[in-house]
Amino acid sequence: MITARWYKTDAADAEAICEAATRPNMRFVPIKTRDQQAVLALHRSRSLLVRQRTASINAVRGLVGEFGLIAAKGRYRMSELRQRTNAMTPDHLPAIACQAINTLFDHIDMLEEQIAAVERQIVEWHKNNEDSRRLATAPGVGPITASAIVAAVGDGCQFQSARHFAAWLGLTPRMHASGRKERIGRISKGGDRYLRALLIHGARAIVGTLFRKNVPPRPWLLALAARRPTNVTAVAVAHKTARALWAMLTRDEKYRKPIAATPSAA
C-alpha cells in the first residue's frame, strides 16, 4: 500500500493556489485603486486612534476609581471628570497619582485632535466623490460610513446580489438545518468588522428615533421593535441598509424612500 505524505511548503502552496484558481466557482477579490487604498488608510488610522482613545478613557476611569472617584461612562464625561480630579485634595488623591492621571488626560486630548484631523480628511474626500455623496443620502449613513463602503467595495459588481453583499458583511443569519428542520441562528459576523460596526451604529441611531414626535413613523420598524430586542432590531436595520446601499452602488441611484402602503378601499 502506497501512501502519500504532503508537507506544507511554498511549492505545495503555489500548486494548491493554481489548482484552486482553475475552479469555476472561485471568487476573486477585485483590485483596489490607489485612491481607494488611500482612503482605507485614513479609515484604518481612525479606527486605531479611536481604540486607543477608548483604552485611555477606560484607564483613567479605572485609576480614579481606585481613589474612590466613580466616573460615568462615555468620552463626553471626560471634561467633568478632569475637573473633579483636579478638585480633589492631596489627602484623597496623591500628587504623583494626579500627575499620572493628568498625563492620560493630555493623551486623550491629543487623540481627540488627531481623530478630528483624520475625519476632516475623510469628509473632504467624501465631498469630492459622487458615489460617496449618493450613499450618504440613505438613513443612518454619514460621510464616514459612505466613504468606507465606497473605498472597500468600489462599484459593488463583484457581488451577485444584495444578499451576497450583506452576507459578506456578516449581517446574514446563520442557517442550521438537520433533516427537514431549519433554524435561523445569529449573524455570521464575517467579512469586514469595521464596515459592519459602522452600519450597526447607524442603525442604532435609526432605532433611537422611533419614539420621537418630529420623526416620520416607520410601521415596519415599530412592529419589529415591539417583538424583538433592540440589538436584534438594529442588526435587522443594518442588514436592510446594506442591501439598499448595494442597489445604490450598482444602479447609480440615490436613496429612494419606501412608499407607505395605503389600505385598499372596501
Q: Give the DSSP letter string of 74-100.
A: SGGGHHHHHHHHHHS-TTTS-HHHHHH
Which amino acid type is present at position 230? Answer: T
pLDDT at 124: 97
Mean pLDDT of the chain: 88
Q: What percent of the chain has pLDDT over 70?
A: 94
Smallest CA-to-CA distance from 135 within 244, 47, 30, 37 is with 244
* 177 — pLDDT class (breaks 50, 70, 90): confident
* 262 — pLDDT class (breaks 50, 70, 90): low
Taken in order 76, 79, 82, 84, is the CA torsion positive or negative? negative
Written as nine digits, the cell of 140 is 443612518
For the residues 46-72, what does the mean pLDDT come to?
93
Residues 6+ apart with CB under 8 A from 250: 155, 156, 157
Nearest 5°: phi and psi at 256? -110, 120
pLDDT at 99 over 60: yes
Per-residue pLDDT tens over the stretch 191-241? 789 999 999 999 999 998 887 888 777 888 888 888 999 999 999 999 999
For the residues 25-30, what does the mean pLDDT come to?
73
* 265 — pLDDT class (breaks 50, 70, 90): very low
Written as nine digits, the cell of 260 is 407607505
pLDDT at 135: 95
Residue 164 half-sphere exposure toward CB, CA atoms < 13 A? 9
C-alpha dist (Å) from residue 200 to 59, 96, 145, 153, 172: 26, 42, 10, 18, 13
pLDDT at 260: 59
